[in-house]
Structure 1
Amino acid sequence: MMAPPAPAVAAGYADNLPPLAMLRLLPPPPVPGGSEEAADRFVYRESRKGILGKDWRRAQGQLGITSPEYVQAVSCALGAVLAPKTTPATMILLRRAGTDLAKAVFTAKDYYKRPRPFSTDGGKACDPEAAVNGGKGLGFAYPSGHAAVGWLWGLILSDARPERSATLLKFGKDTGDLRIACRVHWASDVTGGRLLATALYQQIADREDYKADLLKAKAELSLAPVPEGCSG
C-alpha cells in the first residue's frame, strides 16, 4: 500500500523575495573575539545557574512549536484555543508566514554556520539532541528559529487581536528567552531571530493576501473558545 502524499507546504506571502534579499534582512552574528561575542559567552556561562530550574523545565516542554505546552502557551496569550478545528483561518495565516520565515531562517543559518554554544565547551543543554553526535541534529545557531517564530507569531496575532498585544508580545519574547535558558542558543542568536521576524513582518504586513487572511482570522477568533488552564 502506498503511503499518503505529504501535505503541501503552504505558499508564503513573500515568495518573490530571493534568498540573498532575505540575508539582507538580518545583520551578521558577533565577530569572534569581539565584545559582543564576549557578552554572549558571559550570558551562556551564567545560564549554568538555571540548569534543571523552572525555565529549564519550561524550555524542555517547548522544544517543538507543535508541542502541547507551546500550543497552550500561545493559546493562553491569544485568549483563544489555537487549533485546526477551532481556528483554521488563523492557522493558515501563521502557516503561510511561517513558510516565509523558514526560508529566511535556514538561509541565514546555512550562510553563517555559527556553532551552538554547548558545542564550544561540551556544556549541558535541555534538549536531548544536544548530547547526540555533538548536537548536529539541531543545526546551526544563528539566528534562533524558535525566537523568530515566537516573535513573528506575536506580531501577527497582535494584528488579529490588538487588545491582546501586550500578552502576545510577552509570549513571543518568552519563546526566545527560553532558548537561552535551555542553553542551545547564544543571546545574540535570539536577538537575531527577533530582528529577522520583525523585518519579515514588515515585508508581508501590507500585502493584500496577508490582509485578506487577517480579516478571516479576526472573524473566527471573535467566536473561538477560551482556553482552560491558563494562569494569570
Structure 2
Amino acid sequence: MIRMHPALAALAFAAGLSACAAAPAHAPTTLAEPNSPDFVPPEIDGYLTAADIDGVALIGPPPAPDSPRGRADAQRFEETRSLEGTARWAKAAADADLWGGKALKGYACAAGLDISPDSTPVTAHILERAEQDVRTVSTPAKDHYARLRPLIGNDKPICVPRAPWMEINASYPSGHSMTGWAWALILVELAPDKAGPLLEAGKEMGESRVICGMHYPSDVEAGRDLAAAMVARMRAEPEFRADMEKARREVARLKAPPSGCDA
C-alpha cells in the first residue's frame, strides 16, 4: 500500500495540491511549469503501467539520516552550494529542462548527433514516452518512502526557482536522474558507437540533480537503478521495439552534427 509521510501529506493539504500530487500520470494538471513533476504534456502516454515494475521493492529504502551514508548525502548538499554561479551550476539548470529541449541538447552535443524533435521526431517521441514511464514507475516508490528533498527546511541556493511542488514531491528516487539514465540507455541502443559520450551525459544529468540541490546522491543512484530496470522492461513491449526500429533508421540517416554546441 502506498504511504505518504505525515509531513508531506500536511504540506500537500495546506498547499491545496494533494489532488494534483496523487493524480495519475496522464491526468490534467493546473501546474504548467515544465520543470515540475506535475507538468504533463498532453496526449503522451508511456509504454508501461505502474504494475509492470515494483520500484518500492527494487530500490529499497533510502539511507537513514544518521547513518554514514545519510550523513554523506547531507554533506554533499552543503558542499555543492558553493558551485552557485559557476558553469557547472548553469549546466545543472539546463539539465533540469526536460521538456524545453536543453537536457536533450546536452545528449546531442555530447554524441555529436543532431537528435531533436525536428531532426529525429520518432526518437524524440520515444524519449518523451520514456519520461512519462519514469513518472509512472517512480511515483509509488516516491510516495512510499516519502523522503524530503535536501532543500526543504532551509533557504540555501538551488539552481532552479523554488516552488510549492518541491515540498510534496519526494526526493527518493530522483525522477530526473531516472529520466537521464533511461535516455542514455535508449540512445546507446540507437547509436552504439556513441555509447561512451551518451552514457557520460546520462551520468552527468544525475550529478546535476545533486549540484542543483534538488536531490541527494543516494536519490540519484536509486533513480539510475530503477531506470535500468524500466528500460529492460520496456524492451518486452512490442510497441517500444517497433518504435526503436524506426528510430534506428532515423538516427542512421543523421549526417550533420548539432548546431549550437560549445566547443
Say yes or no: TM over 0.5.
Answer: yes
DSSP 3-state at the match of 2:215: coil
DSSP 3-state at the match of 2:58: coil
CA distance in 2, matches of 1:107, 1:49: 33
Gaps of 5+ in 1: 1-5
**By how many angstroms is 1:20 displaced?**
7.2
**By how many angstroms is 1:111 displaced?**
1.6
**By how many angstroms is 1:227 displaced?**
0.5
DSSP 3-state at the match of 1:229: coil
Q: 2:78 aligns with which of 45, 59, 69?
A: 45
Corresponding residue for residue 3 of structure 1: none
DSSP 3-state at the match of 2:54: helix
Corresponding residue for residue 158 of structure 2: 125
Alpha carbons of 1:85 and 1:61: their partners in 2 closer, same or farther (altered >3 Å)? closer
Corresponding residue for residue 10 of structure 1: 45
> What is the Cα-based RMSD across aligned positions, in Å?
2.2
Amino acid across the alignment from 2:195: S
CA distance in 2, matches of 1:11, 1:118: 30
**By how many angstroms is 1:57 displaced?**
1.7
- 8 Å contact 1:110–1:140 — kept in the other structure? yes
Q: 2:122 aligns with which of 78, 89, 97?
A: 89
CA distance in 2, matches of 1:127, 1:194: 22
**By how many angstroms is 1:191 displaced?**
0.9
TM-score (norm: length of structure 1): 0.86
TM-score (norm: length of structure 2): 0.76
DSSP 3-state at the match of 1:126: coil
Corresponding residue for residue 239 of structure 2: 209
**By how many angstroms is 1:221 displaced?**
0.8
**By how many angstroms is 1:151 displaced?**
0.5
Taking only the aligned residue pairs, the percentage that are identical comes to 31
- 8 Å contact 1:89–1:213 — kept in the other structure? yes
Amino acid across the alignment from 2:141: A
CA distance in 1, matches of 2:250, 2:182: 20
Gaps of 5+ in 2: 1-40
Alpha carbons of 1:11 and 1:37: their partners in 2 closer, same or farther (altered >3 Å)? closer
